[in-house]
Amino acid sequence: NAINSEIAANTAKVTNANHTGDVTGATALTIASDVITQAKLANQFKTTLTNGSATGSVSLDFNAYQVFDMTLSGTTTFGITNAEIGMVKDLYVTGVQTFSITNGKLVAGTYDGAVTNLIQIVAQTSTSFWYSISQEQV
């Protein structure tokens, strides 16, 4: 049978190919320094920052970004899309306005529109969230 020689050739293999480029080695592989970039990472590891001025209803796409940076220009309601249980996102907010997070439960902190606030949001479910608010301690 013609396939027997192909099988024999594969089982007779006793060494690995030698890899070059970002990953090198023949037996143990080594990843070169400084070659892992955001573009090479999966969506859940993105650390892209989205900036914007917020008023009215604003959607925070949890699958698109890790960090959101917003300046409130009016009363704002943040809705969250594409969330999965356990996701944690950072929302930096400033602006002397009020905001709410749809299906969000505040667990700690108070918003101060005169400074930048770090709001950390944790997805309890895909539609239910816990959040805390903090400011830089000076």
Report pLDDT digits (tens) over 6-60: 666 665 555 667 777 777 777 777 888 777 665 555 544 444 466 677 778 899 9
* Amino acid 44: pLDDT: 45
Q: Which residues contact 5 (CB under 8 A, 6 or more apart)?
A: none
* Amino acid 120: pLDDT: 98
Give the N- to C-terminal CA distance of the chain in Å, as an integer. 79
Rg (CA), the chain: 24
Total Cβ atoms within 10 A of residue 23: 11
Strand partners, 78: 58, 101
Q: Fill in the amino acid letter for 28.
A: A
Has residue 115 got a pLDDT over 90? yes
* Amino acid 30: pLDDT: 82
Write phi, then psi, for 74 (nearest 5 degrees). -175, 175
Q: Which residues contact 64 (CB under 8 A, 6 or more apart)?
A: 43, 46, 48, 50, 82
* Amino acid 132: pLDDT: 98
* Amino acid 93: pLDDT: 93
pTM for this predicted structure: 0.64
- Closest CA relative to residue 85, chosen from 120, 124, 46: 124
Write phi, then psi, for 126 (nearest 5 degrees). -70, -10
pLDDT digits (tens, 9 = 90+) for 57-112: 899 999 988 999 999 988 999 999 999 999 999 999 999 999 999 999 999 999 99
